[in-house]
A and B are shown apart, each in its own frame.
Chain A
Amino acid sequence: MEFYDRITAFHLDILREIGNIGAGNAATALSKLLNKKIDMKVPDVSLVSFDEMMDMAGGAENVVVSIFFRLEGEVPGSMFFLLPLEQADRFIYQLTGEEGAAPVRYSEIAESALRELGNIMAGSYLSALSDFTSLCLYPSVPYMSIDMAGAVISPGLIETSQVSDFAIVINTELVEDEMTPGTRINGCFFLVPDPGSFQAIFHSLGVYQSE
């Protein structure tokens, strides 16, 4: 916990704004890709234990499609685009015309479509973030895994876990047309900057943490 002591509500607001800009851009990209109205929810920025982070993804055992990017550059960290299985099936159908196969066993073309979708989404999120902060961000190629949330998220916590038992997660959910009741969540982004990255983000925006 000690590492995050100096993060104030004001800092969390800044991170929320980053989530806003990033996911807003990604929602626009998805909307164009699917020719559909896509909305985003107000980003949730919180300092959570690793167990709580799995709960945010529906519980450690909840099976999700996870597209993971390791970020290098001035803001090293981990980025996840998480999709519920039903939603992944729908995306695959919309993009390739293939009916959702048995869960967790997709065809090569379906996997590739999902990976590309993740790539477009994360790319638009990160380019917005990079424009806003003028920081260089280099995402890795997209890595995909369909498995229990606990299993697919923990590899992105290796850096954070060496410093703390908590992580700051910038969580943004995308939904199809929020006006209609009972809309389904299209997917969510978890951005988990490495502990050393927060300074860079705040400095780039002219905000300094008090000592």
Chain B
Amino acid sequence: MSEKKRRFGRRKVCRFCADPTLVIDYKNPQMLKSFVTIRGKIIPRRITGTCARHQRELTTAIKRSRMVALMPFTSVD
């Protein structure tokens, strides 16, 4: 069955593995913004292609960022 499964598009690569200079930092909401939806929810890694390790770091960073009001917990706009 698995041979029948077809992949669409190209394989996603973890952005942070591809570019080691990118640092995950809760003080940089600008960068974290691309990993949350418009509503402010964290995007799952199956969508973004981030690897497990970096997704974990991202999650804590986003949550910290929310605590200091640099990122919204939720927003409608």
B and A form one assembly: no
